[in-house]
Amino acid sequence: MYKLYNVKAWGSLSIHCLLEEMEVPYTNIWMTAEQVRAPEFRAISPLGQVPALGLADGRALFESAAIITFLVTAHPDKAMAPAVGSEDFGEFLSWLQFLATNLYITNNLAFPGSIYAADAAHDAFVAGKAAERADSYWQLLEDRLGAEGPWLMGEDYSALDIYMFMITLWGRPSEAELRARFPRIAAHAGAVRARPKLKAALEAHGVMEVGGYPPAA
């Protein structure tokens, strides 16, 4: 059985929701920020980050895009991605990488006190530039939903929708303001939030309502 290393409202939320949506058995391991930052956790996740997904043989996967690709291809019957090898799957992978390597990182660089920050002045400069760039990425996604929606892969709900929804929770300067600027993304996020199978996980992460991030300590 899989083991999910999970922190409330952090990046493991996407994998938690994906596992719930797929109804795949797993053990959930709630962690604190201190436990994630402890040196021992690097044996599981080399950069000391969540998500990490423990496998039955004792190894663990890290990097959210890799975990998502693994889960959707290991469980094709759950239909959370287009068929492996199809052109649609290629497009799915492109948007997954875009979300993971461009949007996720740039959006989170815009957090004051980001884990990537060097010093306060540098942090403020980087945060401003990152927020601007993240907005241009959100605009791309807004346009895609307009052209191809209602989901990121058109008529087919997929793991991409859960993943993008997670990043909206961390919208800058706030989730509510992000939603006000991008109405299609807001409607899309509302539709993901309303998925019945995600309710328990979203409640556990404290993000059933807009503005749930950051969770109360």
Q: What is the contact surface with ligand GSH in residues (CB under 6 A)?
A: 10-11, 36-37, 49-51, 63-64, 100, 104, 115
CB of 150: closest distance to ligand GSH in angstroms? 25
CB of 100: closest distance to ligand GSH in angstroms? 5
Task: Please tell me the distance from the alpha carbon of residue 46 to that of residue 92, in angstroms, as a whole number.
Answer: 26
CB of 155: closest distance to ligand GSH in angstroms? 27
Contacts of 209 (CB under 8 A, 6+ apart): none
Task: Please tell me the distance from the alpha carbon of residue 112 to that of residue 212, in angstroms, as a whole number.
Answer: 18
Contact 185, 179 (CB under 8 A): yes
Task: Please tell me the distance from the alpha carbon of residue 196 to that of residue 200, in angstroms, as a whole number.
Answer: 8
CB of 108: closest distance to ligand GSH in angstroms? 6
Q: Is 83 helix (H, G, I), strand (E, B) or coil?
A: coil
Of 149 and 158, nearer to ligand GSH (C-beta) is: 158
Of 24 and 105, nearer to ligand GSH (C-beta) is: 105
Of 8 and 144, nearer to ligand GSH (C-beta) is: 8
Task: Please tell me the distance from the alpha carbon of residue 105 to that of residue 117, in angstroms, as a whole number.
Answer: 12
Of 183 and 215, nearer to ligand GSH (C-beta) is: 215
